[in-house]
Structure 1
Amino acid sequence: MADDTYLLDFEKPLYELEQKLAEMRELNKDNADDLSNEISALEERVEQLRTSIYRNLTRWQRVQIARHPQRPYTLDHIEALTEGFVELHGDRKYADDRAIVGGIAEFKGSRFGGTDRSVMIMGHQKGRDTKERKFRRFGMPNPEGYRKAARLMEMAAKFNKPVVTLLDTPGAYPGLEAEERGQAEAIARNLLEMARLPVPIVVVIIGEGASGGALGIGVGDRILMLENSWYSVIAPESCSQILWRSWDYKEDAARALKLTATDLLDVGIVDEIVDEPVGGAHRFPNQTFDNTGRAIAQALETLTALDKDTLLDQRIEKLDGIGAYTTEATPA
């Protein structure tokens, strides 16, 4: 049962029914009458309601789930999917940005139907409480975060290690100091270097994928996207503020932006949707880790079998194809 501290509005009916189920189970322990039939019927109702809610989510509701404070973050995925993670710090130019974490680890591929292999894994890291959120800057990197990521990817290329990146950010940090240190240049440089990095790159959108803040570590050979994550050039609230001068139209903006996994798979931005358990990753993190691990393992098996030239040719072809469209000629 979910923690009511972080309950989303559309989850409340399910939470109330789960509470009734928990109470009935507790009552059954001390009651001489067997309530098994009633409990079974209520369990069925809970499952039906859960399926009804989470299989019919609006785009805005998926945005809310992607931001859920109990949703697994990058370090949670790293702990579940790898062994022996050694975090590497600093960009060797200015500082160590705690909004991006990364390092060498052993991906537990055999557990997910693939091969155990050493990888360079990195991603945006948010915080669970106020202190950690401030420490991680809410997962919004400064330029040194992107430069740290670039340094780690260069190291991966030097030692022929695949790269796995995990995207979960509301955007690059918008502060004056970030602009003074070259925020735009740092992100642009990463796009260039990732486009020509001579090792496989698997990108997984695990939560929020906002703007250049996500794209700065988001160029890859395979783009995987969790079912309840979102990926867009702008957040719905910001889009609403620009178009309507108010945040009140964020749901309309979310619909117009078409930022869900299904939307982006349809237009070829992402390659695969990673299913989440009915109820979301914040309710069932272990099942989410298993699904994510299998998707990464399959992608790495395919990509590591390619020679360098083929890998780079396919990556460039993939990037060139994004946004392409055809129109029918108008009859004379």
Structure 2
Amino acid sequence: MTSYLEFEKPIAELESRIADLRETANGEINIDAEVAKLQDKVDRQIRAVYGKLTPWQKTMVARHPERPHFKHYVAGLFDEFVPLAGDRAFGDDQAILGGFARKGDTRLMVIGHEKGDDTQSRLKHNFGMGKPEGYRKAIRLMDLADRFGLPVVTLIDTAGAFPGIQAEERGQAEAIARSTEHCLALGVPLVAMVLGEGGSGGAVALAAADRVLMMEHAVYSVISPEGCASILWRTGDKADEAAAAMRITASDLKSLGVVDQVIEEPLGGAHRDHAGTIANIGEALFSSLGALDGIAPADLRTRRQDKYLRIGVV
């Protein structure tokens, strides 16, 4: 059953009419023409709604519980995936997953956030909010990739790093800084994809890449709109104003040079068409990896560092 966002009520009403029509029809009545007419209205309504989303509405789409997650992309993009666990210091963080992957003859390292898609799995994966051991696992896997000359792909989808006291006691800030540093120092290609939420240092720690790709309805920011509103206006009720002011959408960030490519989502968002979304991601991913193939490690490091030094220069 599809979960509808607040601004999708007109779409929900039309699709409910289609469902009711199919449920009440019997074999003697041909409803195909009426269903086709309603479906055409649904498509037009989706185009109208999604063609003028505000930054706050895009934030809600980015957080949609039915958007594809790390496990869906891994299953859809690669022929083989061998997960690797643990940071070799404290434990294994289930919010950040990673391992060796293969697509045809291309072998690479894949690392990313997993939010989970039901109550049990969301708790298991801590809603995609990484802890220090998760970022240290990412560092370990990046080091492995560097040693074996494998390109690295990171899949970003997190509200931010876990803010709990246990994470702070285990060195959350240091782990995030080290992970960011390792991204910049890699001698192999690194492609990052912001799939849903790209929240704060928890996202940047895996996204300081040669190329940063971003889904059309994803968001990427240093703080959540609610967090920004609570600081500026002392209330989370102005999150919509904060989202607009922060310029967190893919189109804004592309114009600012923070992301390199915006990946189109299927009509109505990634949550409506997993297969189409994964196909779009795959095309952009392997194209980016191909463009980086053969560049010397020293040149990769220099180009990557120059890329981030240029951001914000006026």
Instruction: Give me the TM-score of the superposition, normalised by structure 1.
Output: 0.91
Local SS of the residue matching 2:130: coil
Give runs of aligned pairs for residues 1-332 of structure 1, distance below 5 A: 3-4=1-2, 6-25=3-22, 30-32=27-29, 34-107=30-103, 116-325=105-314
Local SS of the residue matching 1:141: coil
Letter of the 1:243 counterpart: L
Cα distance change of structure 1 residues 169 and 42 upon mapping to structure 2, 3 Å threshold: same
Letter of the 2:17 counterpart: K
Local SS of the residue matching 1:270: coil
Local SS of the residue matching 1:216: helix
Q: Which has the larger radius of gyration?
A: 1
What do the CA deviations read for 1:123-143 (whole angstroms, capped 9, x no partner)? 011122222222111111111
Letter of the 1:248 counterpart: D
What do the CA deviations read for 1:179-201 (whole angstroms, capped 9, x no partner)? 11111111111111211110000
Q: Is the 8 A contact 1:55 1:278 kept in 2?
A: no
Any unmatched runs of 5+ in structure 2?
none
Q: Is the 8 A contact 2:80 2:103 kept in 1?
A: no
Q: Is the 8 A contact 2:183 2:205 kept in 1?
A: no
What do the CA deviations read for 1:1-27 (whole angstroms, capped 9, x no partner)? xx24x2211112112112223444566
Any unmatched runs of 5+ in structure 1?
109-115, 326-332
CA shift at 1:30, angstroms?
2.5
RMSD of aligned residue pairs (Cα, Å): 1.5
CA distance in 2 between partners of 1:70 and 1:133 (Å) = 12
CA distance in 1 between partners of 2:28 and 2:224 (Å) = 52
Q: Is the 8 A contact 2:186 2:297 kept in 1?
A: no
What do the CA deviations read for 1:136-185 (whole angstroms, capped 9, x no partner)? 11111111100000000000000000000001111111111111111111
Among the aligned pairs, what percent are the same residue? 45
Cα distance change of structure 1 residues 35 and 191 upon mapping to structure 2, 3 Å threshold: closer
CA distance in 2 between partners of 1:26 and 1:86 (Å) = 44
Letter of the 1:88 counterpart: L
